[in-house]
Every structure is written in structure tokens, then in C-alpha cells.
């Protein structure tokens, strides 16, 4: 419900992985280049079609993921077996053991990748409403060049870098396959990780930027922001700037600014996600070490952040409040992890899963209609309009 968003960001951070897996794979270019194909946008996620050992499937495009991944059921159908173990730290900084292997062949519209490292991950855990068979991650994305037209939902791939007018970001690829670019916020320049698999815009590490943003008007949110294979993370606090602020590159201001989210404990000082990158036609020239961002006409961000002030998620069959906007007088009696019994006069049990609830919530937001909830702990009925979020100055 916060900012009309139900889903949480799922990200895995590489912990240990042999160099042979991270560096694995080779591109065999298509006979005629570039190749072109459609892609699908689900929220701020890019889904594409690809073949693994001749088996077609739907994959999330995510250069923020250090390798690539297959769902166990799809892997079985594609004749892929996982025989080595690796370690990852998930979004909650919990270490988990995970299986990995080398996949013989991956084809994306005639572009062929052989001997590529893949993890085994149950995608339904993280994408319950999208039929995702796996992740095309950095082990593939960093070996070829991409041109993405978000308005047309069309992309091109080539072993030869694309040329296009626009703002050219010089990027670095580091040992764990992450892509970094130097960006500036409030005259403070840091290396930001580019993460196409992140549904957010731009995130900043609070410890790096608190002084720079002291006194800035923000929306403060508290709760459990991340979900991983180990479950929900602990309670955190995040701040989002109430207004759109400039984004700088090489002492110049980018054509599009962003509302910036400040979170503690981020691995990198800053992250750039798809919500921001969609403001541009995007060229990813992996083989040349740069991105090209061409501004496109798009919807301006609203003057005010609006929401219902809380987010609800299903945990072990029970619907609970997992996020709250701080300082909202309508939510003074609500606590994190409160159980929600009713919504708009009917029991929460009428939603068979999170997908049905997401669809219902999207309709309510479109109508800007209020929500009426009943909490198990207090028995009170709360009417929550879709309203501007409470702001405060960051200290």
C-alpha cells in the first residue's frame, strides 16, 4: 500500500562463488546482428523469453544478480542438474546454501551463450504473481550489448556496441559482476550500483548521506522491508524525499531527477533501479564499458507522495501490517505485525493469495477509494483515505 506498491524488493548479494562460475560462459553471436525481440514490463520488472537447452521459458532480466538462475521445476524440464554448493547472503544478510551448475546452452533470439554459471532458486517464492522460470543475470548480461525501448517494450542485442545520442555513463564491472557508475547527490559523489532487477528508483545509504540531507523534507517509513528465503527481515527505518531532487553525473545535472530513498545497511553507497532508468531509452554497451541514456517524454512525478499509510502482507496464512508511515495520526493505534481481520467489510480470508489482494488494491488505488480495516488486536475499524503522506525534516 505504500506508494501503491505491494511487493517488496528481493535481492541476493553474492557471498562466495568460485571465479570459474562468475567468469563462466561465452557468447556465440547470431549470424545477423542486431537481433530484436519484445519484452514485457510487470511493474518495474523486465521479463523476456529465452531458451535453456532448447526449453523455452520466461526470465527476469537482472544485471544486479551476480550470476543467473533457474527455478528447479524448469531446470528439470530443461535437463539441468545442480551438483555444486555455493553460499549467498540474502536481502536480510542471512547466509544460505544454494546449488549451482554450468548450463550448456542459453539462447536469446539467436544469441547463444554456452557454459554459463547458474544458481538454483525457487522463483515462485519471490515472484508469486508472475510466471518466472529464472533470472538472466550478470553472467549473461555483461557479455553482450542491449538497447531497450521501454515505451515500445522492444529490445535489441548485439555483440557490437550500439551508437545513439544521449548521456554516456562510464561504468565499471567489479569482481562480483556488479556494474557501478559514479553519481552525485547533494554534491556528494559515490559509486552507485546499477540494478535492473530493483523495482525502486534510487536508494542511498543513510550512513553515507544523512549529513548531506539533514533538514530535508522526507516521508519516514518503519517496518519490514525485505523478504528472503529465510522469511521477513527485521524492522528497519527508511526515508524518502518528499520532493524530486537532482541526480548528478560528471558535474552535470541529469535531465530527470528522482525522489531518493535513504536506507541503512546497504552494501553500496547508492543503487539505481529500473524506476529511474525507465525515464530514458537505455543502451547497455557491456563490451564497451558504458551506458547511453536518452531522455524520453514521460509522466512527471506527482507533487506529493500519496498512499494508505501502511502495507499489508500475508505471512503463514495470516494478513499482517508490515509497513507504516511514521507520524500519521490515523495510524496512531496500529503496530507493525498487527493482524488484519477484515478489509472493506469482508474477512481477509476472501483473498486466496497475495496476487488476488494485489489486484484488489490496484483497483482501490485507481479509484482513490478509502480502505476500511479491522485489526485483531484492538477490534477497531479504521477508515484510511488514499491521502498525502505525512512528512518531517530529516535529522
DSSP secondary structure letters along 179-232: EEEEEEETTEEEEEEEETT-SSSEEEEHHHHTTTTTT-EEEEEEE--BEETTEE
The residue whose grid cell reads 539505481 is 272
Spell out the per-residue pLDDT of the chain, length 395, in tens. Answer: 444 333 333 333 333 344 466 667 799 999 999 999 999 999 889 999 999 999 999 999 999 988 999 999 999 999 999 988 877 665 555 667 889 999 999 999 999 999 999 999 998 877 888 889 999 999 999 999 999 999 999 999 999 999 999 999 999 999 888 999 999 999 899 999 999 988 789 999 999 999 999 999 999 999 988 765 555 677 899 999 999 999 999 999 999 999 999 999 898 999 999 999 999 999 999 999 999 999 998 666 666 789 999 999 998 899 999 999 999 999 999 999 999 999 999 999 999 999 999 999 999 999 999 999 999 998 989 999 999 999 999 99
CATH architecture under which domain 2-158 falls: Beta Barrel (2.40)
CATH topology of domain 167-295: Cathepsin D, subunit A; domain 1 (2.40.70)
Q: Residue 325 — φ and ψ, nearest 5°?
A: -85, 125
**Cα–Cα separations (whole angstroms), residue 89 to 8, 174, 311:** 17, 18, 25
Same fold, 2-158 and 167-295: yes
The residues, any chain, with a CB within 8 Å of residue 35's CB and separated by 6 or more, are 108, 109, 110, 111, 156, 157, 158
pTM of the shown model: 0.90
- Per-domain residue ranges of the chain: 2-158, 167-295, 307-389
State pLDDT tens for residues 181-204.
999 999 899 999 999 988 789 999
Contact 126, 10 (CB under 8 A): yes
CATH architecture under which domain 307-389 falls: Roll (2.30)
Q: Considering only the C-alpha atoms of the chain, give the largest distance between any 2 of them, rounded to a whole number of Å.
A: 66
362, containing H or E segment:
helix 354-367
From the number of C-beta atoms within 10 Å of its C-beta (0-12, 13-18, 19+), residue 118 rates as buried
**Cα–Cα separations (whole angstroms), residue 53 to 15, 50, 140:** 28, 10, 15
Amino acid at each position: 500500500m505504500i506508494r501503491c506498491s505491494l511487493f517488496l524488493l528481493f535481492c541476493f548479494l553474492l557471498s562466495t562463488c568460485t571465479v570459474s562460475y562468475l567468469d563462466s560462459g561465452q557468447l556465440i553471436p547470431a549470424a545477423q546482428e542486431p537481433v530484436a525481440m519484445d519484452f514485457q514490463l510487470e511493474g518495474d520488472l523486465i521479463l523476456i523469453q529465452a531458451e535453456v537447452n532448447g526449453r523455452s521459458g520466461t526470465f527476469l532480466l537482472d544485471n544486479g544478480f551476480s550470476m543467473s538462475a533457474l527455478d528447479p521445476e524448469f531446470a528439470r524440464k530443461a535437463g539441468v542438474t545442480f551438483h555444486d554448493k555455493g553460499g549467498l547472503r540474502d536481502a536480510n544478510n542471512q547466509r544460505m546454501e544454494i546449488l549451482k551448475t554450468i548450463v550448456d546452452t542459453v539462447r536469446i533470439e539467436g544469441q547463444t551463450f554456452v557454459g554459463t554459471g547458474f544458481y538454483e532458486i525457487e522463483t515462485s517464492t519471490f515472484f508469486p504473481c508472475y510466471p518466472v522460470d529464472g533470472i538472466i543475470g550478470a553472467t549473461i548480461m555483461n557479455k553482450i550489448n542491449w538497447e531497450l525501448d521501454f515505451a515500445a517494450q522492444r529490445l535489441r542485442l548485439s555483440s557490437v556496441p550500439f551508437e545513439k545520442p544521449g548521456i554516456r555513463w562510464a561504468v565499471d564491472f567489479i569482481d562480483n559482476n556488479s556494474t557501478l557508475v559514479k553519481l552525485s547527490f547533494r554534491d556528494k559523489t559515490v559509486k552507485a550500483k546499477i540494478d535492473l532487477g530493483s523495482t525502486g528508483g534510487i536508494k542511498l545509504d543513510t550512513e553515507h548521506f544523512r549529513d548531506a540531507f539533514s533538514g530535508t523534507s522526507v516521508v519516514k517509513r518503519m517496518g519490514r522491508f525485505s523478504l528472503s528465503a529465510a522469511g521477513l527481515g527485521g524492522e528497519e527505518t527508511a526515508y524518502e524525499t518528499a520532493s524530486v531532487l537532482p541526480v548528478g553525473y560528471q558535474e552535470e545535472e541529469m535531465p530527470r531527477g528522482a525522489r531518493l530513498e535513504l536506507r541503512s545497511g546497504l552494501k553500496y553507497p547508492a543503487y539505481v533501479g529500473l524506476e529511474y532508468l525507465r525515464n530514458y531509452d537505455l543502451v547497455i554497451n557491456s563490451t564497451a564499458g558504458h551506458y547511453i541514456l536518452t531522455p524520453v517524454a514521460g509522466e512527471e512525478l506527482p507533487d506529493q507522495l500519496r498512499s494508505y499509510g501502511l502495507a499489508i502482507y500475508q505471512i503463514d496464512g495470516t494478513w499482517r501490517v508490515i509497513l507504516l508511515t511514521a507520524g500519521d495520526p490515523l495510524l496512531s493505534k496500529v503496530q507493525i505485525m498487527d493482524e488484519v481481520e477484515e478489509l472493506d467489510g469482508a474477512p481477509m480470508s476472501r483473498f486466496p493469495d497475495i496476487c488476488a489482494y494485489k489486484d484488489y488494491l490496484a483497483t482501490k488505488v485507481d479509484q482513490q477509494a478509502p480502505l476500511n480495516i479491522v485489526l485483531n488486536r484492538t477490534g477497531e475499524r479504521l477508515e484510511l483515505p488514499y491521502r498525502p503522506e505525512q512528512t518531517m525534516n530529516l535529522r
